[in-house]
Amino acid sequence: MTCIVGLEHEGHIYIGGDSASVSGWDIIQTRLKKVFRMGDFIIGYTSSFRMGQILQYNLDIEKQKDDIDDLRYMATIFIESVRKSFGEGGYREIESERESGGFFLVGYKGKIYSIGDDFQVNSSIDGFTSVGSGESYALGSLFETKGEAPFIRLEKALSAASYFSGAVCPPFTIVSSKDM
């Protein structure tokens, strides 16, 4: 349980996340950051700390070739690398020949991509998105704060999610491609 928010702004990407570690009715603030840089990517995850650790420390992704567009690269090369890493890390579930992983956001080349637990890749036309238990609250905030500075928008979105969801808590981590 958590809230991860992503935003596209003037060719840059911003991803923010909370610090909740939730089990049933219990919540603690974790030291683990759910948002991180990895090469050309910014990743923010929900679902499982194990999943996030595999993404952060075990994921090896082939560079994009010039003859493949960004979405195709994300839906093929990137996702196949994730599936392989999840399998090697013992995280991937297989039921009735269907694989599942978890939910996370990826910022790449100025776009935010949401990855579903069935490994689907999506990119919202709104230029912002969210995943996790605070998702709906964060999306409402992001919609209402159009025109404000990116860091302020993400801070407000995470604050709204924290206020309304018992599975989201500060402190918040926000990472930007502006610093890459």
Judge whether 30 and 21 are in contact, CB under 8 Å: yes
- Given a cut of 70, is residue 180 above it in pLDDT? no
Mean pLDDT over each residue of the chain, to the nearest integer: 95
Considering only the top CATH level, what class is 3-179? alpha beta
172: its two tokens: 């918040």
pLDDT tens-digit map of 15-39: 999 999 998 889 999 999 999 999 9
170: its two tokens: 């500060």
Nearest-angstrom CA–CA distance, 85 and 24: 28
Structural domain boundaries of the chain?
Answer: 3-179
Residues 45, 48, 53, 54, CA torsion sign: negative
Q: Give the burial class of 161: count Cβ atoms within 10 A of its Cβ; 0-12 exposed, 13-18 middle, 19 or more buried.
A: buried
Q: How confident is the model at residue 73 (pLDDT cuts 50, 70, 90)?
A: very high
- Given a cut of 90, is residue 103 above it in pLDDT? yes
SS3 label, residue 34: coil
Report the run of H or E that residue 60 belongs to, with start and end: none
Query: Cα angle at 180 between 41 and 104, to 5 degrees?
Result: 25
